């Protein structure tokens, strides 16, 4: 179990999740708050981490369970389709389902090789940064971003 402080730097999805995702062939991300562009970009950055930690010949299925945006659902689906197309070229089969039951709250990542990563904030761990600034290291590299206060728990399942 790890706890991080507001405005802390030096974190990345690679350092938080990479070792736990390595070797998985099936990964499920559950987060009801993947609606706004920056939240969708967070999932894309997690896919980048998965690509970095898998071998080139490995195939990994990544499934997202989230909630459909009430106002921008079509745009949300378009972004997911683009992620699916881009990921397929790198050995990742990306898919998603919408759970609009209204009961979804927990945020976690579960692997087929025994790990559950419980995320109290989901993937939304970074403070706002300027996404459009090509010359900002915070835009290009997560470890230079300030984070929000959050906790992550790694659970080994049998």
Phi-psi region of 23 (alpha: psi -120 to 50; beta: other; left: phi over 0): left
pLDDT of residue 11: 96
pLDDT of residue 131: 77
Query: How many Å apart are CA 96 and CA 150, to the nearest integer?
Result: 25
pLDDT of residue 139: 85
pLDDT of residue 46: 98
Task: Kindly give the confidence (pLDDT) of every residue in the chain, 158 residues in length, as a single tens digit, with 9 standing for 90 and above.
Answer: 999 999 999 999 999 999 999 999 999 999 999 999 999 999 999 999 999 999 999 999 999 999 999 899 899 999 999 999 999 999 999 999 999 888 878 899 999 999 999 999 999 999 888 778 888 888 889 999 999 999 999 999 97
Distance from the first to the final alpha carbon of the chain: 18
Q: Give the full edge-to-edge strand order of the sheet including 2-4.
A: 2-4, 150-156, 115-119, 108-111, 26-30, 60-66, 92-98
pLDDT of residue 2: 96
pLDDT of residue 17: 98
pLDDT of residue 98: 95
């Amino acid at each position: 179990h790890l706890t991080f402080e507001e405005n802390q730097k030096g974190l990345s999805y690679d350092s938080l999740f990479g070792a736990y995702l390595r070797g998985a062939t099936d990964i499920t991300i559950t987060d009801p708050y993947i609606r706004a562009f920056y939240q969708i970009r967070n999932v894309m950055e997690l896919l980048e981490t998965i690509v970095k930690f898998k071998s080139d010949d490995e195939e990994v299925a990544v499934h997202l369970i989230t909630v459909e945006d009430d106002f921008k659902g079509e745009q949300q689906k378009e972004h997911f389709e683009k992620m699916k197309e881009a990921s397929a070229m790198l050995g990742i089969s990306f898919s998603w389902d919408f759970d609009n039951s209204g009961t979804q709250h927990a945020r976690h990542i579960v692997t087929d090789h025994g790990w559950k990563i419980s995320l109290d904030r989901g993937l939304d761990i970074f403070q706002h940064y300027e996404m459009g600034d090509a010359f900002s290291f915070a835009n290009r590299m997560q470890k230079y971003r300030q984070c929000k206060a959050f906790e992550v728990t790694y659970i080994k399942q049998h």
